[in-house]
Each structure stands twice: as C-alpha cells, then as structure tokens.
C-alpha cells in the first residue's frame, strides 16, 4: 500500500477504510485499554492522532513506544471522538520502523534555540524548525515563480572564481595544493581561486544576451562576522536586467518582496501562524505593513538630513559621505517611516567601482532596501555601462583592468544601461517568519568556528 501523507489526510472530506501512514511519534498518551499516538511525518505542522487498541497483537510493543520512534500505521480514517482534530486513524496494524531510546534529546516541551543548534541533525523534527524549513522551501519556489512569470531566465554563475576584489568581503581560498606547497602554478587552476562572493559580474554578461536574468545560488564570505544576521555560506538571489535604470530596479525590488511575502501568507498559513503565535507576536502586523504600503524612497542626502534633524542621540555621528550605521538604518525604517525604506544615490566614495556615476559626479546610482528587524535586505545599483567612465573608475579605485578585461570589454560591444540587485535569501526567511537569528533559518549553518554538521 502506498503511504498517505498527513497533509493529504487532513484534507479528507469523507472517512477512508484503509490507508497507510508513516512518520515519527511526537507523543503518546496511554489509556487503560488503548493508546493515543501523535504521529508527524513532516508534510505539515499537524500531527495525526492514532488510536491503538490493546487487541493489536503487538500492543505490548506499542505501549513502550517513546517520543522520536518511527512507525508505520495502517488503519481506518474515522471522525475523531475527541475535540482538537477532525480525523483520527483507528490502527489495524502498527509497525515499529525504528525505535528511539530514552536518550532521544527532543522532548515534548519547549527547547531553547541554543540547545537545538547543538543538535542540528535532529532539530528539524521540531514544530518550529520543520515549519521554518517548509517556509524556506516554499519561498524558494516563489522566487522562481516570480521571475518566471516576468520572463526572466534562471542562470547558473560559477561557484569557483578567480575574482578577488569585487569589494564584497573576505574570500575562501580553493586549492588542491598539499599543505605547505605554495607554488600557485602547480595549483589546479594555476592561479589563485576562491569561492564566489557574488555572481553579479557574470550575470551582467548574461543579461546583455538574454535580457532579464537572475541567479539563485550559494554565496560564500569568509568575514569573521559574529552576528545574528551573517553566515559564511548563504544563498543569494541576484536579478540583472538589460535596458533598466535605477528606478525600475527599485520597482522590481519592491514588487518582489511583496510578492514573496504574499506567497507565504497565501500558501503557508499553518506554519506562519506558529511563528505569529510563538516567535514574533507582531509578525502579521509587520507583514501587513510590508505588503500593504508603498516603500519609502529617499536619496541618501535626504536620509542624512532626516537623521541630522531627528534630535535622536546616536552612538555614531551622522555625517554626509560616511556609511550609515545600523542604528541609523533602524531609525529610518523602524521609527521615522515605520515601513520599508529604499535609500538611493549614495556617495561614490562608499560604493564599489561598477555602480553608475550620476550626473553630479559625486553620487552613484545605488540603492539599499531597509526593513525592520533585519536592516539591509537588498543592495543594488544601476551598473556603469559607459566604457570610458568604467575604466576611469577602475583606475581610481586601483582595480586591474587586465584581470577584468572581459567585464570591461562587455561595455565595448553594444553596451546598454542595466541594473540589478542582491537579495539575501536567509534574511528574507527571517523577515517572513520573525526568526531573529540566521542560524535558525539554515538547516546546517556555517559561521566562524561552526561547521560540525
């Protein structure tokens, strides 16, 4: 008999004579002559209540089942006599698939996130983490749907690269040299190579061929960051659009965030409800603001003026020409505007070489999207498409035009205005679930000194 997933069973409209369910025991309650088993198979948040009667030939064994054991149950789906669930499974056959000794660390009680991080191989069996990873899966699907519906092509950019100065942080070296060997010409690629910190430069090449493209893949940063919103390995979504200016870039960023949030609201109601009840009481209100209001758009210079006139006391001074600190970003999005804010046209001195120079010669066509609780969730820009201007900027910032010859050359042949941005996928999952630590939205997170699982 083919097994029925609990998610499907919960949607039954009429009883069923015989079905097969397989899953893990979440808890067991014993009566005098029978036992209730709560079975979860990961297909949804809900458990299935199984009624196992003492007449079953292996009832002695069932009586000894503990939390964590895996079982297969065959029986009839009937309306539940108790309240709390519509259906229950009247067991005809209960088979123990894998026992769980009393050392099983997950109990039917609340555990701390810190404890669960130490048992990452088991924590997905809890309500909170299975819900988080189901939402993560659903969000990934929604990303592809969003772009597909708009005629974007999904492209795969290299994970191994020789780029070493894209201005996006420290790099993980990749080598096949034995320890101690230092001769780069003997290395696999013959040059220094690293894990990618961004697929943007390659995505630009594809955008100027396919039109609208996006990447969605792993990204690696060797920064020694110890915060709740940084990981050494994370997934990034990077759309890149030909014939697109900064305004259109911001339009897409706003539309995308709203689309993704709405998708989860529409498709993950049960899982989302868990987070709204137990993780972040303000979650639904936050998502309402996110999906229901136009994002504020202000130039960097105006953001600085607002901060200067705010009267708020900041630990770090507000000054034109410097990067905004976390506290400044939080003030803008959480206190001043109370909704997502897009800051654009940053001074050229604090942004990378590839961003398009504005007519004022001082600012570049860049933008950050700031949201409450997370901070910067998107960073993007219109790219410098003018060959001479790009070459000048590379010289000014000390980049090798020889090494990036192909990037520069793309501006020589049919160059077009184009724009794109990077969206941190994990920060998106955090935003939608209210989970406050990035380590809890990645099944097996990689952070400094943490690669055990």
Residues that bind RNA (CB under 7 A): 27, 29-32, 36, 38, 49, 51, 64, 66-67, 80-85, 88, 90, 102, 105, 107-112, 114-115, 117, 167-169, 198, 221, 223-232, 234, 236, 316, 323, 325-327, 330, 375-379, 422-424, 426-427, 436-439, 449-450
Secondary structure class of 73 (helix, strand, coil): strand
CA proximity to 199, closest of 170, 248, 245, 161: 161
Q: How far is the CB of 145 from RNA (least distance, A)?
A: 20
Q: CB-wise, 242 or 377, nearer to RNA?
A: 377
Q: CB-wise, 29 or 281, nearer to RNA?
A: 29
Buried b (16+ CB within 10 A) or exposed e, 41-71: bebbbbbbbbbbeeebeebeebeebebbbbb
- Distance (Å) of CA 431 to CA 120, 425, 436, 439: 22, 10, 8, 14
How many angstroms separate the CA atoms of 242 and 245, rounded? Answer: 9
Q: CB-wise, 173 or 191, nearer to RNA?
A: 173
Q: How far is the CB of 190 from RNA (least distance, A)?
A: 29
**Per-residue tokens: 361:** 């010669």
Q: CB-wise, 170 or 266, nearer to RNA?
A: 170
345: alpha, beta or left? (left if phi > 0; alpha if psi -120 to 50): left
Q: How far is the CB of 343 from RNA (least distance, A)?
A: 12
Q: How far is the CB of 436 from RNA (least distance, A)?
A: 6
Q: CB-wise, 248 or 376, nearer to RNA?
A: 376
Q: How far is the CB of 187 from RNA (least distance, A)?
A: 26
- Enumerate residues 6+ apart whose C-beta is below 8 A from 447: 225, 226, 230, 231, 232, 439
**Per-residue tokens: 92:** 């005809």
Q: How far is the CB of 395 from RNA (least distance, A)?
A: 20
Q: CB-wise, 298 or 438, nearer to RNA?
A: 438
Which residue's entry shows tokens 């184009």?
418
């Amino acid at each position: 008999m083919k097994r029925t997933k609990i998610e499907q069973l919960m949607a039954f409209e009429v009883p069923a004579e015989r079905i097969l369910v397989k899953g893990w025991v979440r808890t067991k309650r014993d009566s005098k002559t029978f036992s209730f088993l709560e079975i979860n198979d990961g297909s949804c948040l809900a458990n299935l209540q199984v009624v196992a009667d003492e007449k079953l030939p292996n009832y002695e064994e069932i009586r000894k089942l503990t939390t964590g054991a895996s079982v297969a149950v065959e029986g009839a789906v009937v309306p539940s006599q108790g309240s709390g669930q519509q259906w229950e499974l009247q067991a005809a056959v209960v088979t123990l698939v894998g026992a769980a000794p009393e050392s099983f660390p997950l109990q039917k009680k609340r555990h701390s996130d810190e404890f669960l991080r130490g048992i990452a191989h088991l924590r997905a069996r809890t309500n909170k983490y299975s819900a988080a990873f189901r939402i993560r899966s659903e969000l990934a699907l929604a990303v592809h749907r969003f772009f597909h519906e708009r005629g974007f092509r999904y492209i795969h950019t290299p994970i191994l690269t020789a780029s070493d100065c894209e201005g996006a942080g420290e790099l993980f070296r990749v080598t096949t040299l034995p320890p101690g060997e230092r001769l780069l010409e003997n290395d696999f690629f013959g040059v220094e190579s690293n894990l990618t910190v961004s697929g943007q430069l390659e995505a630009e090449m594809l955008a100027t061929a396919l039109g609208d493209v996006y990447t969605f893949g792993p990204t690696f940063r060797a920064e020694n960051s110890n915060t709740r919103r940084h990981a050494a390995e994370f997934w990034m979504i990077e759309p890149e659009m030909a014939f697109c200016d900064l305004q259109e870039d911001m339009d897409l960023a706003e539309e995308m965030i709203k689309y993704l949030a709405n998708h989860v609201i529409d498709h993950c109601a049960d899982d989302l409800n868990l987070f709204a009840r137990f993780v972040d009481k303000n979650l639904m209100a936050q998502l309402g603001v996110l999906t229901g209001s136009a994002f504020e758009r202000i130039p960097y210079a105006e953001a600085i003026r607002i901060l200067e006139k705010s009267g708020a006391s900041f630990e770090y001074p507000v000054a034109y020409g410097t990067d905004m600190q976390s506290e400044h970003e939080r003030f803008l999005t959480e206190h001043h505007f109370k909704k997502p804010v897009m800051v654009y046209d940053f001074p050229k001195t604090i942004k990378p070489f590839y961003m398009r120079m504005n007519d004022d010669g001082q600012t570049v066509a860049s933008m950050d999207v700031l949201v409450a609780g997370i901070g910067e969730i998107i960073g993007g820009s219109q790219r410098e498409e003018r060959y001479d201007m790009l070459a000048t900027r590379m010289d000014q910032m000390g980049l090798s035009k020889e090494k990036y010859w192909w990037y520069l050359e793309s501006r020589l042949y049919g160059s077009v205005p184009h724009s794109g941005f990077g969206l941190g996928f994990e920060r998106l999952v955090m935003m939608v679930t209210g989970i406050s630590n990035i380590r809890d939205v990645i099944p097996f997170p990689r952070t400094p000194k943490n690669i055990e699982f």
